[in-house]
């Protein structure tokens, strides 16, 4: 079983109970997924705390990275939704740092990638869309429904266009969550498959070791690509969040 686990690309996504716990018939056990979500929050918080605690006039490398992260997300939000949307900066920045840290943390061997589980990414997407809907109605009242009625559409096409807009809006949490989940899942499976080839071929002697060179090169290349994808997916998630928040702030803007 142990040998099979080493080359099983799906085994890395199994959720295991670390502290079994059941209350009122509900299983609320502390799992490896929960452990790495806590680790993600702790690491991201620690990075931001230590990178900003010095507040030096001439910033250190750590402080520079922290300040660049802050300004990067702030500029993204201002450009996408305007200065009025800066009230959502804590939400967008927290999502960006959580997704980025979780993605990078999952690249370490024997670590768990929480963003490779659809339930986690869907919960994050539902938080975003829920915020858009609640704030949209709070700020604009029924004027928020202008989001589903594009300007300049002929009256006879309006029912069809409104239906398409509603379906498009309802599909947002699905597309937002599946995009992140699918990219992380596919990348990790591909990396595990090539790593499994290296292990399997290396056990066949000199000829196998020679044949393992190409899978090893591919594994290294995919690892480098996964680092890029980890950062890119955090950026895409934050960017789409900003665009959706723009609909709450300016429902008739499009």
pLDDT band for 252, please (50, 70, 90 cuts).
low
Q: What local confidence, expressed as pLDDT, does residue 29 receive?
A: 87
pLDDT in tens, 65-76: 888 999 999 999
Would residue 179 count as lying in a domain? yes
Average pLDDT for residues 209-218, to the nearest whole number?
81
Cβ proximity of 39 and 22 under 8 Å:
no
Cβ proximity of 128 and 243 under 8 Å:
no
Would residue 96 count as lying in a domain? yes
pLDDT band for 232, please (50, 70, 90 cuts).
very high
Strands 17-19 and 30-31: antiparallel
How many structural domains compose the chain?
Answer: 1
Task: Report the share of the chain in percent with pLDDT over 90.
Answer: 45
Q: What local confidence, expressed as pLDDT, does residue 182 receive?
A: 93
Residue 31, beta-bridge partner list: 17
Would residue 254 count as lying in a domain? no
**Which of the two residues, 218 and 4, has the higher pLDDT score?**
218
Q: Provide the 10 A C-beta neighbour count for residue 205.
A: 9
Q: What local confidence, expressed as pLDDT, does residue 5 receive?
A: 44
Q: What local confidence, expressed as pLDDT, does residue 3 receive?
A: 45
The residue range of the domain holding 11 is: 2-249
Residue 1 has pLDDT above 70, yes or no: no
Q: Cα torsion at 108, 183, 95, 172 (round to 10°)?
A: -160
Would residue 137 count as lying in a domain? yes
CA pair distance 86, 112, nearest whole angstrom: 33
Question: If we measure between CA atoms, which residue out of 51, 60, 61, 127 comes closest to residue 88?
Answer: 127
pLDDT in tens, 166-198: 999 999 999 999 999 999 999 888 888 888 878
pTM, entire model? 0.87
pLDDT band for 7, please (50, 70, 90 cuts).
low
Average pLDDT for residues 82-102, to the nearest whole number?
93
Residue 4 has pLDDT above 70, yes or no: no
Average pLDDT for residues 16-42, to the nearest whole number?
89
Would residue 68 count as lying in a domain? yes
Cα 47 to Cα 36, 41, 56, 59, 191: the distances in Å are 16, 10, 16, 15, 28
Residue 148 has pLDDT above 90, yes or no: no
């Amino acid at each position: 079983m142990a040998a099979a686990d080493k080359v099983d690309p799906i085994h890395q996504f199994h959720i295991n109970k670390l502290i079994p716990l059941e209350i009122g018939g509900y299983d609320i056990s502390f799992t490896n997924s929960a452990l790495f979500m806590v680790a993600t929050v702790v690491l991201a918080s620690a990075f931001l705390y230590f990178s900003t605690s010095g507040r030096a006039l001439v910033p250190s490398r750590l402080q520079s990275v922290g300040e660049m992260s802050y300004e990067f997300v702030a500029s993204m939000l201002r450009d996408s939704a305007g200065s009025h949307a800066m009230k959502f900066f804590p939400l967008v920045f927290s999502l960006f740092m959580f997704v980025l840290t979780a993605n990078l943390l999952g690249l370490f061997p024997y670590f768990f990638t929480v963003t490779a589980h659809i339930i986690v990414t869907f919960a994050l997407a539902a938080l975003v869309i829920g915020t858009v809907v609640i704030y949209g109605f709070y700020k604009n009242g029924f004027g928020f429904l202008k989001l589903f009625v594009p300007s300049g559409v002929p009256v006879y096409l309006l029912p069809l266009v409104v239906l398409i807009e509603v379906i498009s809006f309802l599909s947002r949490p699905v597309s937002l969550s599946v995009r992140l989940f699918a990219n992380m899942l596919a990348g990790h499976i591909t990396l595990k498959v090539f790593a499994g080839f290296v292990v399997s071929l290396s056990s066949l002697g000199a000829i196998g070791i020679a044949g393992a060179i190409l899978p090893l090169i591919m594994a290294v290349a995919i690892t480098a690509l996964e680092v890029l994808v980890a950062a890119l997916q955090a950026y895409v998630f934050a960017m789409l969040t900003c665009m959706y928040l723009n609909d709450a702030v300016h429902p008739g803007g499009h």
